[in-house]
Amino acid sequence: MKPALRKPVITIAFITLLFAACSNNKPNTASDEMQVAAMLDSFNVAAAKADYNKYFNYYTSDAIFTGTDATERWDKKSFMAWAKPIFDKGHAWNFTALERHIYFDKTGSLAWFDELLNTQMKICRGSGVLVKQGKDWKVQQYILSTTIPNEQLDSIVKIKTPLEDAIIKKLSK
């Protein structure tokens, strides 16, 4: 290579490498959002098909699942033990996203989401934190909550008060 051409080629190569290095640390919002959405859809399908191994493979080893009941907060191992008999029946839960919002941190290795789900409990809200491990997104924390129309909230509070007063008393100590 001629000395006159060496400097521009080296400069272009350096700029290309620098751009590639920087772009690997930032989310390609459209592409990453599609990947996360596809992962969340597959996650829900795995539960609907009672594919125990596939479903729990979507969680990190130290994941936390928080369910709709105030007493439901499990690490992955405990959640797997609780869910195993349900999955063994050949059907677990069937959630389909109605609306979903996905966000990323500046590094592109952390995402969080919230979504409205069509479920056997009617509309629920799923939300969580995802971490990128290699090329895969994994659930670090998942929170499932039921929605209550504001017009019905007072009557629901009356129903749950006796059960939850005991929990409040226990946790307040």
Domain count, the chain: 1
Position 87 in a domain: yes
- pLDDT tens digit string along 30-79? 899 999 999 999 999 999 999 999 999 999 999 999 999 999 999 999 99
Position 110 in a domain: yes
CATH of the domain at 78: 3.10.450.50
Position 156 in a domain: yes
Position 14 in a domain: no
Concatenating the DSSP letter of every residue in the chain gives --HHHHHHHHHHHHHHHHHHHHHHTS--HHHHHHHHHHHHHHHHHHHHTT-HHHHHHTEEEEEEEE-SSTT-EEEHHHHHHHHHHHHHTT-----EEEEEEEEE-TTSSEEEEEEEEEETTEEEEEEEEEEEETTEEEEEEEEEEE---GGGHHHHHHHHHHHHHHHHHHHH-
Position 149 in a domain: yes
Mean pLDDT, range 128-135, rounded to an integer: 97
- pLDDT tens digit string along 6-28? 555 554 544 444 444 444 455 67
0.85 surpassed by pTM: no
Can you give the residue range of the structural domain that contains 80?
27-172
